[in-house]
Amino acid sequence: MVEIMKLVGEKFRLPGELYSYSTITMGNVNSTYKVTYEMDGRLKSYLFQQVNTHAFKKPVEIMKNIDHVTTFIRQKYPQQITLHFHHTADGANYYITDENSFWRVVNYVESITINSCDDLSVIEATGKAFGNFQTQLSDFDGSVLYETIPGFHNTKQRLDTLFEHIEEDPCGRVKEVTEELEYLSQVRERAADLSVRFARGEIPKRVTHNDTKANNVLFHKETKEPLVVVDLDTIMPGMSMYDFGDAVRFIANAVGEDEPDLSKVYFDTEKFKAFAKGFIRETKNSLTEIELQNLVTASFSITIELASRFLDDYLVGNRYFRCEYPKHNLVRARCQLKLAQDIDKKSPALEQIVRDVIEQV
């Protein structure tokens, strides 16, 4: 591994000597390392990231998207921290090794990230960060962006794919998940509804982040203020309310998204409210009625979508998401299903919270 780190550092012309490196275990798709260089007795850290080209078939297009978006933000808000990607001698912001592995290097931002959080003010700040990110990009021309993963949040298509794989049952695992599939069949149409309406042009197309897990916001170590939104791989035209939904799916779950003990999994309405306050305050003026009215439905839909993606990956043999143990994707899927059921059950209360928040902020 040290050899590849050295090679990548050389290609990106990083000054000094490789001092240390460690794996950052966050993220279920790409592989990330914190790499530190020493020059004249001073240390400087970078993130080296190997992009998963099974998930991202056209990684060069991702890097072009990221370049467009970070340049836009840097020009519009020069004072703001943005991600700084390094370039090779050829002027590319990526490097492909002879073995075809795809690398990029970005400055390390001294910060903390949040995986689980009980502090409602930090949750509200996370909502503010993602809402603000969307508002900042509201006048960015989305037509220049490549669709890095086609149909990424097309819930209907995700569910269709799952049900096709159920027919094929390539690993003989369908028999383990009959209860889960029964539930998914029941809610299939309802969960797919927003994505169908989006495809018909009934819901505004915005430039969205599409992976709004709380740990994609970097926070200041002491002040706990959000510094910058990261993981720009899936920035594409999409639905605003799915960014909201994906975020609460993660942050308002009482436990982690791969909790095996389902009795601990529930949707925390106070956390939901805190996030909604931060997000809606930032986006209220730009969101339309149909978007504000569907924030809860979107939270349910994207939770079902992710459950079906995890389950699908389990059924086809864990090819997409990085797994720590063989049934990891099954555990993740069950956790998301339990969460979706709880969102559904609490939806009248959640709808009321959204209405109150819109009034208050």
Contacts to Mg ion from residues 264-283, by CB under 5 A: none
By three-state DSSP, how is residue 334 classified?
A: helix
Contacts to ligand GN1 from residues 48-67, by CB under 6 A: 55
Q: Provide Rg for the chain, Cα atoms.
A: 20
Choice between 88 and 318, CB closer to ligand GN1: 318
Interface segment toward ligand GN1; rule CB under 6 A; list 8-16, 139-147, 227-235, 273-281: 227-235
Let me know: does 142 contact 237? Beta carbons within 8 Å.
yes
Asked if 28 touches ligand GN1 (CB under 6 A), the answer is yes
Choice between 55 and 287, CB closer to ligand GN1: 55
Number of residues that bind Mg ion (CB under 5 A): 2
Interface segment toward Mg ion; rule CB under 5 A; list 104-112, 223-231, 261-269, 313-321: 223-231
Asked if 234 touches ligand GN1 (CB under 6 A), the answer is yes
Which member of 257, 268, 282, 291 binds ligand GN1 (CB under 6 A)? Answer: 257
Tell me the closest approach of the beta carbon of residue 359 to ligand GN1, in angstroms.
31
Sign of CA dihedral 219, 220, 224, 225: negative
Measure the CA–CA gap between 128 and 180, rounded to whole angstroms: 34
**Would you give the DSSP letter of residue 112?**
B
Number of residues that bind ligand GN1 (CB under 6 A): 10
**Would you give the DSSP letter of residue 158?**
H
Q: Quote the distance between the C-alpha of residue 138 and its chain's center.
A: 19
Q: Could you please report the per-residue DSSP string of 173-223? A: -GGGGHHHHHHHHHHHHHHHHHHHHHHTT-S--EEE-S---GGGEEE-TTT
Q: Quote the distance between the C-alpha of residue 354 and its chain's center.
A: 22
Asked if 214 touches ligand GN1 (CB under 6 A), the answer is no
Which member of 231, 291, 313, 344 binds Mg ion (CB under 5 A)? Answer: 231
Interface segment toward Mg ion; rule CB under 5 A; list 141-149, 209-217, 291-299, 319-327: 209-217
Asked if 211 touches Mg ion (CB under 5 A), the answer is yes
Q: Which does 28 bind (CB under 5 to 8 A by kind): ligand GN1, Mg ion, none?
A: ligand GN1
Q: Which does 55 bind (CB under 5 to 8 A by kind): ligand GN1, Mg ion, none?
A: ligand GN1
Tell me the closest approach of the beta carbon of residue 78 to ligand GN1, in angstroms.
28
Tell me the closest approach of the beta carbon of residue 30 to Mg ion, in angstroms.
7
Asked if 344 touches Mg ion (CB under 5 A), the answer is no
Tell me the closest approach of the beta carbon of residue 16 to ligand GN1, in angstroms.
29
Choice between 233 and 259, CB closer to ligand GN1: 233
Residues forming contacts to ligand GN1 in the complex (CB under 6 A) are 27-29, 55, 211, 231, 233-234, 257, 306
